[in-house]
Amino acid sequence: MPRIAIVQRPPTFLNKAETTATAVTSVREAAGAGAQLVVFPETFIPGYPAWIWRLRPGGDMTLSERLHSLLLANSVCVDGDDLTPLREAAKQNKVTVVCGINERDTDFSRSTIYNSVVVIGPDGTILNRHRKLMPTNPERMVWGFGDASGLRVIETPCGRIGTLICWENYMPLARCAIYAQGVDIYIAPTYDTGERWIATMQHIAREGGCWVIGSGSAFQARHIPDAVPGKAELYPNADDWINAGDSVVVAPGGKIVAGPLHNELGILYADIDVELVGVARRSLDTVGHYSRPDIFQLHVNTEPLKPVVFNALPGSDRS
């Protein structure tokens, strides 16, 4: 039975190198405890831009621009060397790693950030990169819209892994796209917390007949470096829990087997039995015998976004 480790620790906000180092250390620790799959929260590198929920629309534009500039500078280029330390850690420790990142676009203007999650295999290979399809509310001022090219379930030594990020898990068709690919371990990196979110994780485990890993973000105001612009105004009380975490592991059918880890930092472990997936789907297989394909069909456009091609008109000053 594979052992799952959910890392619920704060990043070094807006510092890509230090946060990546934290991830590497956590991978080594989890592997030392016997984990074969190590999961990090939504946009762990270099941190979730929590300030978007406290800034005033319009009134804090200068501060918002400063914060966004730092976030862009510390976002991850997936096709560069930014993830090399984490990939090496996965390879050296022979574990699969799922990590949320702020991803810097390298195909278009190099100025768009995506809320992404990468799956790194135990040989250090990036097996998949999924970009959040629909940023939520003020998140749309931070991240671009993803496509479905990474909406895939990946075969790993731990089982078949699929990921949806935060409120993507409230999108029924996105969930169905993951279910339809035979997911065993459904991973939900998130910034959401609380009873309703945990209930959603239980619902998905019941609906999909799969293991569900809810990987939450937890940190106090003290974990935001003083050098972060606006820290003193936005987070004056060092003891405040800005986000509670609530990482949780749910078995097929909906029973919580580990967590939720609430207002606490650490690594949450669980040993899972992938064989229980088939047992759970005996009575309810929403993309199998319970699916009614004669009535319902789902079509997913998995083509990646393509850059705009500029063609100057003949005789123009840009031809």
* CA separation for the pair 235, 140 (Å, rounded): 22
Respond yes or no: is residue 210 known to be catalytic.
no
Q: If we measure between CA atoms, which residue out of 95, 35, 32, 24 comes closest to residue 270? A: 35
The answer to whether residues 98 and 163 touch, using CB atoms and an 8 Å cutoff, is yes
Kindly name the residue from 99, 132, 139, 210 that is annotated as catalytic.
132
Report the run of H or E that residue 59 belongs to, with start and end: none
* CA separation for the pair 192, 166 (Å, rounded): 7
* CA separation for the pair 77, 61 (Å, rounded): 26
Kindly name the residue from 166, 168, 176, 210 that is annotated as catalytic.
166
Respond yes or no: is residue 275 known to be catalytic.
no
Residue 69 contacts by C-beta under 8 Å, 6 or more apart in sequence?
none
Respond yes or no: is residue 166 known to be catalytic.
yes
* CA separation for the pair 25, 167 (Å, rounded): 29
CB atoms near residue 116 (< 10 Å): 27
Q: If we measure between CA atoms, which residue out of 42, 54, 53 comes closest to residue 8? A: 42
Distances, alpha carbon 1 to alpha carbons 126, 185, 274, in Å: 24, 13, 7
Structure tokens at 201: 């994780």
Structure tokens at 255: 């029973």
Q: Known catalytic residues?
A: 42, 132, 166
